[in-house]
Amino acid sequence: MGYLGNKGSVSISMTLHQTTFCFVCTHLASGEKEGDEFKRNSDVIEILKRTRFYNSSSIRGKLVPPDNILDHDKIIWLGDLNYRLASTCEDTIFKLLKTNDWQPLLEKDQLRIEQKAGRIFQGWNEGRICFAPTYKYLANSDNYAVQTSASKDKRRTPAWCDRILWKGEGVKQNCYVRGESKFSDHRPVYSVFSSQLNLNNNKNRNPVSTCVPNREAQQLFLPFRTQSCIQCAPRRFSAAA
């Protein structure tokens, strides 16, 4: 998309049997000033409104894929969503980080606040966050930028900027972890999903679970992950998006 300045999104639409999937990778507006979260909300709304898929196939009897994101059966939304922490004392943040006590910080997470307020991502799920904030690090370091940077322009309050959300019935998240690649000021996040598929045009019939080899998929994370892949109850905001 060319509508969001130096930010934007890339979306992929695909069909497995009779089930449509959409993967949306985004980089939303940056900034940790009060009100910047509304810019990110606006980016999401624009992406949903403007993203269109064009089908060049007209084979008779073949499922016609959706032309927009929300019409897909299953949707995965990932990337640098850039939501920060609402105002919190830096000393308090680092005391909590040292003890891996993330819950008080997650209560200040802008994405969760905006979801609960009904302003964005209603009806979407996110797995339980069991890892430290993913931003902002010094390159090739385990130190957050706020810890060592003398310049206020380069200091950022640690936050969970990098996220993976999903929407749709019959999707199960098996793994939601953080990687430890150090070449960026972000730490990447990874996830493994399993999904049910519709094997015919009648969606009222019983769907069939995919035979995805989850163990093999999870092996891909072994060199990177710091926590075990565990099944955690997702958060869900049930109002329609």
What would the 3-class secondary structure string for 182-215 be? CCCCECCEEEEEEEEECCCCCCCCCCEECCCCHH
Q: What is the pLDDT of residues 6-21, one digit of tens each?
A: 688 999 999 998 999 9
Cis peptide before 33 (omega within 30 of 0): no
Alpha-carbon distance of 129 to 127, in angstroms, equals 6
SS3 at position 22: strand
Mean pLDDT of 165-173: 97
Could you tell me which residue, 120 or 87, shows the higher pLDDT?
A: 120
SS3 at position 95: helix
Which band of pLDDT confidence, cut at 50, 70 and 90, is reported for residue 58?
low
Mean pLDDT of 114-135: 97
In the predicted structure, residue 239 carries a pLDDT above the cut 50 = no
The domains located in the chain, with CATH, are 8-236 (3.60.10.10)
DSSP state of 71: G
Strand partners, 109: 85
What local confidence, expressed as pLDDT, does residue 202 receive? 54
Could you tell me which residue, 26 or 65, shows the higher pLDDT?
A: 26
Which of 185, 186, 174 minimizes the C-alpha distance to 231? 174
* Beta carbons within 10 angstroms of residue 155's beta carbon: 16
Alpha-carbon distance of 20 to 197, in angstroms, equals 9
Mean pLDDT of 139-162: 78
Mean pLDDT of 132-137: 95
Alpha-carbon distance of 22 to 241, in angstroms, equals 16
Per mean pLDDT, which of 32-46, 53-67, 187-201 is the most reliable?
A: 32-46
Contact indicator for 28, 82 with CB cutoff of 8 Å:
yes
Q: Which two tokens stand for residue 18?
A: 């009779």
C-alpha distances (whole Å) from 95 to each of 44, 65, 108, 132, 191 are 33, 49, 15, 13, 28
Residue 234 burial (C-beta neighbours within 10 Å; 0-12, 13-18, 19+):
middle
Mean pLDDT computed over every residue of the chain? 83
In the predicted structure, residue 125 carries a pLDDT above the cut 70 = yes
Which of 80, 73, 78 minimizes the C-alpha distance to 14? 73
Strand partners, 78: 25, 164
In the predicted structure, residue 222 carries a pLDDT above the cut 80 = no
Comparing 39-43, 100-104, 112-116, the range with the smallest average pLDDT is 100-104
User: What's the angle, vertex CA 197, arms to CA 193 and CA 199, rounded to 5?
Assistant: 160
In the predicted structure, residue 231 carries a pLDDT above the cut 50 = no
Q: Give percent of the chain with pLDDT exceeding 70.
A: 73
- pTM for this prediction: 0.82
